[in-house]
Amino acid sequence: MDKIKRSRVEKSTSDSYALSPQQIAFSQLYTKAREEIPLHLVNTTALNAAATPPYAALEVGLAKMTDDVSLGSRLTAVGLGYAGIAWLYSKGRDFSRRVLQITDNSKERIQAIHDAIYTAAFNGVACFPLYLWMGADSKQATIGSLIGAAVSVPLGPVLGYAVDAAGELTGIRPNHRISHSFDSLAETLEKRNISKPPLHYLANKSRRVGEFVSELRPRSKKTLAALLLAGSIAATAGVYALTSDENSQVIETPQSK
């Protein structure tokens, strides 16, 4: 009898600690959010840091936008990135790499080509509804999307590298993209002509930089990531400082006689 009573007590105790399906689903959602939100913030910051300076230069240099208009567009892009556009970009890139079996150890040329094509395709599709939402007609949205896709071809490898490097430096997604890229650069220099002193010197330095970064402590890597982010902000500020007078419009009002 005592054994039966004891087994009933243990069963009732275990039942009291059993989770309902709703609690299990919420727990899984909470765990997923704890993983995805920091990753989204890191990826978005990396994308903004890599994209903002060149886009600012294009807007004020080629498009002849005023600094205020360009800054407004950059801030809008940053906000949309954190709102979810950067998350879609990163998840789509991860999916595309899995389908094509591209890893961090794949040849840098392959990774760069993939990021160029993927970024052009993504921006070509994503820019069209954004331009319509911002008030452009269908013709303007089409032209803007094509321009965005064309600009994304050279910028895509930079964005992809920035995402991978940020994951490595912050520890949010450990990988060896930085050291692998410097090793690949060294191999390329060695294949050209190792007998030439400048190439031999650059190849050795490239390998050392990769080894140096990979051997940094986690805190030092995060410090390096913060310095790179500060460099992006400084570069963007420099673009606007250099063009502050070029695109300004002087409005003359007729003086009353």
Residue-wise pLDDT for 100-137, tens only, equals: 999 988 999 999 999 999 999 998 888 888 778 877 78
State both tokens at 63: 């498009």
Amino acid 252: pLDDT: 44
Both tokens assigned to 115: 């990021």
Mean pLDDT for 27-51 is 89
In this structure, are residues 59 and 70 in contact, taking their beta carbons and an 8 Å threshold?
A: yes
pLDDT at residue 48 above 70?
yes
Establish how many alpha carbons lie within 13 A of residue 26's alpha carbon, considering only the half-sphere containing its beta carbon: 5
The CA-atom distances, in angstroms, between 140 and each of 130, 149, 158 are 11, 14, 27
What distance in Å separates the CA atoms of residue 152 and residue 123, rounded to the nearest whole number? 7
Higher pLDDT: 50 or 31? It is 50
pLDDT of residue 195: 55
pTM of this structure = 0.81
